[in-house]
Amino acid sequence: MLILLLAGFGVGLVALAWAWVDLSRFPPQVWYWSGNRREMWRIGLVLGFLATGWPAMVVAIAWWRSASRAELRDEAHFLRETHRRKIA
């Protein structure tokens, strides 16, 4: 039982770190205009980590597969391309 608990915190820490960095990759403007809230995803990750770690893995996978992430990624790409065109 202790091994599962420790493994959960290990897996949860990796999931928490990956998702936290991935959430930070999107500029604040993209979050604002999309209507999504980065804080809610982060709260879910932290709570999942505190609840033995395994739920953090579930939240990280949910974030990775979510429509919100796809929309944010598309919007961030659009903003980068628009910025590059303005500079050129």
Render pLDDT for 51-87 as a digit per residue (tens, 0 to 9): 989 999 999 999 999 999 999 999 989 888 887 888 7
Stated pTM of the model = 0.81
Which pLDDT belongs to residue 65?
95
Helical segments of 1-88, H only: 2-24, 28-34, 38-50, 54-65, 67-87
- Alpha-carbon distance of 24 to 80, in angstroms, equals 16
Place of tokens 């290990």: 10
Identity of the highest mean pLDDT range in 22-31, 40-49, 75-84: 40-49
Q: Amino acid identity, residue 83?
A: H
Q: Would you mind telling me the total number of residues written for the chain in this entry?
A: 88
- 36 compared with 67, residue with greater pLDDT: 67
Burial class (CB in 10 A: 0-12, 13-18, 19+), 52: middle
Total domains in the fold of the chain: 1
Distance, CA of 63 to CA of 13 (rounded, Å) = 15
Q: Which domain holds residue 60?
A: 2-87
